[in-house]
Amino acid sequence: MIQKNASALATTALAISMAMALTACGGGDDGEGGTTLPPVTPPTPVEAGFTASAEWNMVLPAAGQSLCYDFNTKSEVADCAGTAWDLKIKSGGRTATFWTNSGSSGSGKGGAFGGPFDHSWTELLAWKNATTDPKAGAIPATLFFSDAASGVFTGTNEIASTAFEYGVGGSTDHLLYPNYRTFLITTDSASASTAGTVTSPVFALQVTGYYGGAGGTTSGYPSFRWVDRSAPTVVRKASVNASAGWVYYDLVAGAETTAAGNWHVAFNRYTFKLNGGESGTAKVAGFVAKTPAGFYDVAGKPVAGKFTDASNLASTEADLSASDLALPASASKWVKDTVSSPLQPAYTGTYPSPLNYGWFSYYPTATAASAAGLPAVAHLLKANSEGASLLRGGEGNTYARFHVTQIVYANPNDSASQQTWTVKFDVQP
């Protein structure tokens, strides 16, 4: 019914420093050493702040359907196409999730800075405009995070990656380093087979670097190598320029293709996705098969000396065909891509107690609903008007702070009755 979503973002000050560092990072081939490029200059703060407002009274559609809203024209966009919409709501039938016009959720240049657990409405009301945090200063454009695929390449470290670590050398190190993990990638997630067939191959793949271009120091050029498990002695290698958007790759052909083509893995800087689940129409999924020894200590922290060892590239290649790879025990163990967004934090609370989703709270029992001032009816929702976020519009040059102020049931005594949500925006045109 109600699913646990992606983790909440880090604090404002830490996120700002991280984003500025990551946009500035440079380095040598395969992430081994290198030089640091000058830091990116934050955007000039917009003086004219939140000078307009909008209110979206949205009738929750049927489960699985979506509606989008343009806060500049104050109108719904039913087909959610193009860049002229800013906030999407996906219906779960009795609840809903929010998404931006960006990344995996839309073709626009939108994004969100923080979610409902990161900012309160009272806090954001003190902001003069959407590009300057009163406490931490100018907000880099990179901190308005896009919606993104979440799957086998998504980790719990500060850059949300299972393939890279950031700045292992300390506060002055702004490089990304590969950990040479071996990932199994199946083209048929309905099958538990890890051997594969001619028509449904299974690959073993390692990410080996992040820097390329002229001189090998430009970020956003992931390199990787892989084998077809049916012919594990043939190691193939490639690097792509993913510095400006998604690059789609066909592991069978060993060539770049398009989103409409026969692709298996796609790259966007250090973010990767697979052609399956929420990310594509095929049945591609992954599994972490091996982490080479020595890269992490017993507490799971990166070991700097190992990550910077120049022999890593050569010494880990044999892992692609190693006999000690972990294998999925069943087809259900393959990791399929889902989609994450800053607007979708993990809920707090433990069922059957109330669960807080940031934008609203869910009351599983009649007793819990009654204690919250609602009718004594199980499965009701109540808006949390203090949960708020900063949203960049689909065109990429307008902003809004917004919150959910009300969720009204057509029949307050029936949790299955039609819901109307009220979302209010302060708009920075």
Report which of 181, 205, 184 is spatially closest to residue 193, judged by C-alpha positions.
Answer: 184
Across the range 276-292, mean pLDDT stands at 95
Percentage of the chain surpassing pLDDT 70?
89
| Residues 6+ positions from 323 with CB-CB distance below 8 Å | none
Give the number of other CB atoms < 10 A from CB of residue 326.
14
Please tell me whether residue 270 adopts helix, strand or coil conformation. Answer: coil
Regarding beta strands 66-70 and 87-91, do their DSSP bridges make them parallel or antiparallel, or are they unpaired?
Answer: antiparallel
Q: pLDDT tens, 357-397?
A: 999 999 999 999 999 999 999 999 999 999 999 999 999 99
Tokens of 50: 């939140």
Q: Is 51 helix (H, G, I), strand (E, B) or coil?
A: coil
Q: What is the pLDDT of residues 152-191, one digit of tens each?
A: 999 988 888 999 999 999 888 989 999 999 999 999 999 9
User: Which residue would you say has higher pLDDT here, 60 or 104?
Assistant: 60
- Two tokens at 101? 């016009």
Six-digit token string for 126: 């003190």
State the SS3 of 345-382. Answer: CCCECCCCCCEECCCEEEECCHHHHHHCCCCCCCCEEE
Cis preceding linkage at 39, omega within 30 = no
Q: Where are the domains of the chain?
A: 42-142+342-428, 148-339
Above pLDDT 90, what percent of the chain?
Answer: 76
In this structure, are residues 78 and 86 in contact, taking their beta carbons and an 8 Å threshold?
Answer: no
Judging by beta carbons within 10 Å of its beta carbon (0-12, 13-18, 19+), is residue 332 exposed, middle or buried?
exposed
pLDDT score of 8 more than 60: no
Rounded Cα–Cα distance for residues 429 and 427 (Å): 6
Q: What mean pLDDT is reported for the chain? A: 89
What size, in residues, is the chain?
Answer: 429
CA distance 267 to 181: 17
Instruction: Note the pLDDT of residue 42.
Output: 52
> Positive or negative CA dihedral for 155, 159, 164, 168?
negative
- What's the CA gap between 298 and 395, in Å, rounded? 46
**60 in Cβ contact with 82 (< 8 Å):** no
Phi and psi, residue 205, nearest 5°: -135, 140
Residue with tokens 């020894």: 293
Residue, of 396 and 32, whose pLDDT is higher = 396
Contact assessment for residue 231 and residue 199, using Cβ atoms and an 8 Å cutoff = no
